[in-house]
Structure 1
Amino acid sequence: MQQVQVCIVGGGAVGLTLALGLAQANISVQVIDSGDEPQLLAEQFANRVSAISLASQRLFQRLNAWSAISASRVAPYHFMDVRDKDSFGKIAFNSDDLDLPELGHIIENDAIRYGLYSQLKTLSNAHLAFNTRYQSVHQTDSDVLITLDNGTPIMAKLLVAADGANSAIREQFKLPLTFWDYDHQAIVATVKTQLPHQATARQVFLPTGPLAFLPLADEHHHSIVWSTSPEQAQRLMALSREDFNKALYAAIDGQCGLCEIADDRAVFPLRMRYAKQWLDNRVVLMGDAAHTIHPLAGLGMNLGLKDAALLIDLLSDQNAQEFASHRVLREYERTRKLDAQKHIAMMQGLKELFEGAHPLKKVIRGVGLSLVDNLGPIKNLFAKEAVGK
């Protein structure tokens, strides 16, 4: 039987961040993931990217993982350009105006995972099991027993479910979930553009949903996230490559010049999920297993990393009388639930405001964006919230 202090189910960026922080604090960890171990990036850009905030970057730096992550393809962005297609409203942010080196970085999820994984492999108290499934989970008041498919038993003081939006751990322990369909689907793809991106993250709000052009490490490549109605997503996915390129050009008002899809498009439904209960004795939820939100502000990964950062701090507290006590786990649950609730409400409000072509909404959007863009102190508050400063 293998004994560790923390077992983490899920080897995504959030789970690996938690594992690295705990292992560096001399806490033994076991990571279990059914997928392949992280690999060096392929030559072609991956579809799944994240907008990493300055707060998340500071976390990676604290864990000595930032250099490993940034050794891959990383695209810092210095400008943000947000526009409403149906009104005169627009707002722009500049890192120089905020005395910041950049506003954030666009990074392929695979690059984040590989950077964290390469650091974890150097630590003797971090045990990594990829291409591995668990067979059963049982807990007592003081321990959790995880049995792997190959029969290997693992005893831990805490089990962290970082196993994604459709968390099997969450379902097994019947942790109640609130959810609703955003009535949006997100089309993601890598696009080669005629004009260089000039380190600018762009987003335009269309009547059916937002379209984001996110700069990648090559100045003529963007990662796009086009959130739209299921009907429109179906039409867009059915278009030929040439016609989809034309639709992109028109939707972004030609800001990036001619567009050419560099790889296949992918589409997935967007749903809000929020676990009403994140804790069951020695089992705790984290990241997408606890919350998912609309990607229109690029906050999903950063919210999960904030979960990991707090749990690292709480479990690493050398003054705690008991490891992973109920009081500590309740503090984690209470603090992170409040932050998740705030961001879920904010995303829902933004989605409803910018969706549709109602004349009153168009006026509110136009006036609101223009006012914020011209009021320095308020604009700076918005910007600092966005970059996690």
Structure 2
Amino acid sequence: MPEASCDSVDIAIVGGGIAGLAAAAALAGSGRTVAVLEARELPQPASVQGDTPSDYDARVSALTPRSIDFLKQLGVWPAIEAARSCPYAHMTVWDAEGTGRIEFDAQEVSAESLGSIVENSVITSALAHKVQSLNGIRVLAPARLSDLSLDEHGSILKLEDGGHLRCQLLIAADGARSPTRELLGMRTREWEYGHRAIVTTVAFEAPHQHTAWQRFLQTGPLALLPLASTDDRLCSIVWSIEEHLADELLAMDDEAFAEALGQASEHVLGQVTACAPRKGFPLRQRHAVDYVLPGVALVGDAAHTIHPLAGQGINLGLADVQVLAQEINTALARGLSPGRMDVLGRYQRRRKGDNLAMMAAMDGFKRLFEQHAPPWRWLRNTGMRTVAGLPMVKRRIIRQAMGVG
């Protein structure tokens, strides 16, 4: 690949989703040139309209206060709030096979909220608008990576349109099935959960009370996440259900699905009065053995995917981006190349342990609630009741979930 045929930037980010765009915004003030490559056109600024379930994005994120603070630093949170977001101050978790129940409230840690539920399309649109307004960032979209090679100077990216791009640092933010990670041969450890996540937006008979509700069923956890609407009756549904039952739920008409959902949620918010079309996503845990190579860093889902039962996936990804940007900006301030292995190694050390700990905790919760034998049911219900009566333990759990522990 002749050097003369290559355009050059200092940092190239493959992937124009939430993690990739956040990385571009975080590096915009570094004084280096940054390119974002995305296979599709970037979205226009969010203009949300309508107040029925079908007017909402089926995919949402439960942003923690830490993630919200980072988005504020990037200058995009005001646009997200202006579009549509729903802070929640309370969370109720209960077991379908017993009396175990636990309540978490923001007031227990002197906070206004535990976080905010935001449609993924709203976050992406706000970030895309911000990135396109910043100096020093080139957006190549649509642009698809077809091949890449590494040398002592960094990476050379080959695009499907025949163009080439050289960079000192390549950041892969191109999702769970990251083509960049695959082209580099970076190994992962992964396994199927045997569950599919069914997502949609529904309207309930009763207001959601700015509360996130989660019930653990034999077949998998069900989450009702509050959405901003005129009457506070809309929720995003994330129903993780055993694979062999998913097709039946997806094939139901609205009336049958509404009845099934009402029963599964114990009608905690009354009857389901309307619902949008459902989508299903297979669930798989995946973790890259290494997040970095010389001149390369993985962030977000390209580095790790996690069960959605606690809504921590996007928060882990934004924490990756925040730490990586800190390490890169520190290195650049010292006159160092952003692709140096010692720079990237610090990012990996700061993030890998936290990500693995969260993944292990979520996997442990999932497996515990899958057990149907009486001793296991007794253990988890007793555990939930015990934790509910220990204010100090509850406050620690809340702070950790908020990303401020």
State the TM-score, normalizing by the size of structure 1: 0.97
Could you list the per-position Cα deviations for residues 232-291 of structure 1 after superposition, in whole angstroms to 9, with x for gaps in the alignment?
212212222211101111111111111134311011110000110222221221111110
Match of 2:38 among 33, 45, 54: 33
Shift of 1:42: 4.9
AA in 2 matched with 1:220? R
The aligned counterpart of 1:67 is 78
- The whole-number CA distance in structure 1 between the counterparts of 2:371 and 2:282 is 19
Which is worse superposed, 94-103 or 221-230? 94-103
AA in 2 matched with 1:203? Q
AA in 1 matched with 2:87? P
The aligned counterpart of 2:23 is 18
AA in 2 matched with 1:373? A
Aligned runs of 1:292-307 on 2, under 5 Å? 292-307=305-320
Could you list the per-position Cα deviations for residues 175-230 of structure 1 after superposition, in whole angstroms to 9, with x for gaps in the alignment?
11100111111100100111111100000000111000000011111000000101
SS in 2 for 1:175: coil
SS in 1 for 2:379: helix
- Alpha carbons of structure 1 residues 261 and 182: separation in structure 2 relative to 1, 3 Å: farther
Contact 2:67 2:315 in 1 (8 A): yes
- The whole-number CA distance in structure 2 between the counterparts of 1:380 and 1:26 is 41
1:141 aligns with 2:146: no
The aligned counterpart of 2:336 is 322
1:310 aligns with 2:315: no
Match of 2:245 among 205, 216, 232: 232
Match of 1:275 among 288, 297, 305: 288
Contact 2:293 2:341 in 1 (8 A): no
Match of 1:110 among 96, 116, 121: 121
- The whole-number CA distance in structure 2 between the counterparts of 1:227 and 1:93 is 22
Shift of 1:41: 4.4
Match of 2:198 among 187, 194, 219: 187
Shift of 1:319: 4.2
The aligned counterpart of 2:365 is 350
Match of 2:97 among 71, 86, 100: 86
State the TM-score, normalizing by the size of structure 2: 0.93
SS in 2 for 1:121: helix
- The whole-number CA distance in structure 1 between the counterparts of 2:74 and 2:299 is 19
Contact 2:30 2:329 in 1 (8 A): yes
Match of 1:262 among 275, 279, 289: 275
AA in 1 matched with 2:13? I
- The whole-number CA distance in structure 2 between the counterparts of 1:327 and 1:70 is 38
- The whole-number CA distance in structure 2 between the counterparts of 1:134 and 1:252 is 44
Shift of 1:293: 0.6
The aligned counterpart of 1:169 is 180
SS in 2 for 1:16: helix
Which is worse superposed, 375-384 or 275-284? 275-284
Which is worse superposed, 208-217 or 252-261? 252-261
Aligned runs of 1:187-266 on 2, under 5 Å? 187-218=198-229, 219-266=232-279
Aligned runs of 1:363-374 on 2, under 5 Å? 363-374=378-389
- The whole-number CA distance in structure 1 between the counterparts of 2:299 and 2:155 is 17
Shift of 1:151: 2.6
SS in 1 for 2:290: coil
- The whole-number CA distance in structure 1 between the counterparts of 2:371 and 2:244 is 15
AA in 1 matched with 2:142? N
The number of residues matched between the two structures is 389
1:47 aligns with 2:58: yes
- The whole-number CA distance in structure 1 between the counterparts of 2:400 and 2:274 is 32
SS in 2 for 1:15: helix
- The whole-number CA distance in structure 2 between the counterparts of 1:24 and 1:93 is 39
Contact 1:185 1:270 in 2 (8 A): yes
AA in 2 matched with 1:99? S
Shift of 1:132: 1.5
AA in 1 matched with 2:311? G
Q: Which sections of structure 2, spanning at least 5 residues, go unmatched? A: 1-5, 50-54
1:377 aligns with 2:392: yes
AA in 2 matched with 1:21? A
- The whole-number CA distance in structure 2 between the counterparts of 1:208 and 1:244 is 16
- The whole-number CA distance in structure 2 between the counterparts of 1:24 and 1:113 is 20
SS in 1 for 2:248: helix
SS in 2 for 1:182: strand
AA in 1 matched with 2:32? I
Shift of 1:52: 0.3
Match of 2:375 among 354, 360, 385: 360
Percent sequence identity over matched residues?
Answer: 37
- The whole-number CA distance in structure 2 between the counterparts of 1:216 and 1:249 is 18
AA in 2 matched with 1:105? S
